[in-house]
A and B are shown apart, each in its own frame.
Chain A
Amino acid sequence: MNELGFPILSLMLAVPMAAAVACLFVSANAARWIALLATLVDLALGIVLWMNFDIGGAQWQFVEKAALFDRFSWALGIDGIALMLIMLSVFLMPICIGASWEAIQTRVGEYMAAFLLMEVLMIGVFAAQDIYLFYIFFEAGLIPMYLIIGIWGGANRIYASYKFFLYTLLGSVLMLIAMFWMVNEAGTSDIPTLMAYDFPVEAQAWLWLAFFASFAVKMPMWPVHTWLPDAHVQAPTAGSVILAGVLLKMGGYGFIRFSLPMFPAASVDYLWLVFALSMVAVVYTSLIALVQSDMKKLIAYSSVAHMAIVTVGLFAFNRQGLEGALVVMLSHGLVSGALFLCVGVIYDRLHTREIDRYGGLSINMPRYALLFLLFTMASIGLPGTSGFVGEFLSLVGVYEVSSWAAIVCTTGIILGAAYMLYLYRRVAYGVIKSDDVAAMPDLNKREIALLLPIALVVLWMGVYPESFMAPMRKDVGALEARLASVKPAGDAQVKMGKAPALTPAAHAEEGHH
């Protein structure tokens, strides 16, 4: 079986699945408790998983395989990258349930069932070791998310839910055709085998584009990002947390699991495309974020900018870039989730996301202002928070490949500081403008219990990122080795400076340059 003697990954899928079914048949309050309990059990299982993960051991651990279906099998297993993303999912889920505790009052059972189903599918995406099983988990997330946005969303929820569904569906279907071709060619649907398979170079370009269509929409990359602000603004708070926290990471995970190792030659050929789109995204969406009047929209656009840093980092083809991109993914999952929760906290009190309606919250909500400040700083990438580690590493990695990309993407950090600080100033500083804002109470215990764990992890990741990077190191190394043969030369060859030497031989060598 595996290291633990029981199928822990299947269990992590079964617990929320069973709870989801149970939630449909019980009262609202019971559904809340069942959902919270199930997500906490999954979190506990996730911790067991992490504790037992053998860092530096076999690449694929906790492997399970059962030939349950025709043409594809129930194959699960994780490497360090999947482990960290699963941890992110199971960590955010109880927080999402907690965030919906009071905000959701209609159809609670169905709501909790949809969220638990999302958890099943998210863990499934990261744990699947069969390419078709991956596709099923990847696509199935559309249905619960469509319902979450459409039923419990804001005023313009129907437009947003359609846009979300059809955009992501259109992106993914071509990937399925590419998968058929790959499985026919390689004769297996096993992901680890496919990762080592050398597809013909001329086919790689097409396959890469088909996968790119899917992951670029999911990520989302400019110019196919437009579904994201709509979906975020209309989704309920917890829906936004899951969307920004985990669903966007599926795109990055797809690049690192499929596009890069399976089509290395095409990845280099289309480097210009990824870099160009990411560079546009960083600057363009940051500028858009600067002029937003809706808080959620601002954070949504900042997500697009952060995800662009992930894509450039991934396509840097070196260790710093890859590790940096992964840390940005984890960090952004926590920070943007927390920022959406912060928006949710004040939205629950005043029922508006208009930035202009607020002001001076640090006067009557000091605890809120403190936590909001921490997450704002983490989003900017202040040293000591998780954001810094990831962005620094990514940009170092990118600099080795293309100094222009690095320069343009670094402006994103400056612009990021601009729009986040501007947001914070308008919401938390200044004077209180109206009575209803003045009447807003500070965070209650439930809200502190939601935000504090994220704050602690953000600081942990900022101060000692080794805990999070150690499990992924070997996998990043394996990917780097896979990409070594096609690695682009880059335009910034960093060399160790030489001390001035006095020997004539050294001078002669100097002259050859």
Chain B
Amino acid sequence: MSDQPASPPASAPPDSWADLRRLTNARIGLKRSGASLATGPLLDFQLAHARARDAVHAALDEAKLAGDLRLLGDVLTVSSLVEDRPTYLMRPDLGRMLSPLSEAALQERAGTFDVAFAVIDGLSPRAVETHAAPVLAQVLPALRAENWRVAPLVLLQLGRVAAGDAVATLLRAPCVVVLIGERPGLSAPDSMGAYLTWQPGPATTDAERNCISNIRPDGIGYADAAAKIAHLLRAMRDRKLSGVRLKDDSERPAALTLSRSPNC
């Protein structure tokens, strides 16, 4: 039942909604009974919700992801102040801070860099397990070809976006790209977000970040996401700022403008 498109309204011809449904993954043309959802689409929804809930509570396969990232550069594995996923969900403040051991490890690797990348499990570990390496595989060569000095890749479990600020500060990189698993939705339990910040620090606000969300093959694809990240990084470096003020008339990703940024 779950993988079949829902049936059209009872009174419509059988294929009336089929071509419309090809235009979007949104749940349109659902079969009704009276005003209410028919049994089929109701149970489709419940299954998708159950899968998303399962994704939120799954743990990151750190060894696998670290192995994938090592093919692209040096990898530093660090941790936040959070110890388990239930605490992670309730205490974003702890997820923004690095453990003392991690801080020391990063400080040891401080150097002369142009950009740091932090890969964080966030609310969908599967998203970064699947999408982080393919995006980085396109971004990093492009940047290196332009002589960007890229800091060691940082892999952080149970972290929030703002933990990337500390990563950049400790490595002494002027800007940071955080790749993080976004909160699972029903049709996308594995969506990744990229948050870019120029000269991040403890006083950085959400308005000073630029965000590319919904990175996955059916959303913003790998090549597109990589191009957007590289484009934003160049613009940030040219104009020495990020966030809502970094906006011109070219195709630019949204700066964070809403409370709708649950990872921060």
Decide if A and B are genuine partners.
no
Name A residues whose Cβ lies closer than 8 Å to a Cβ of B.
Answer: none
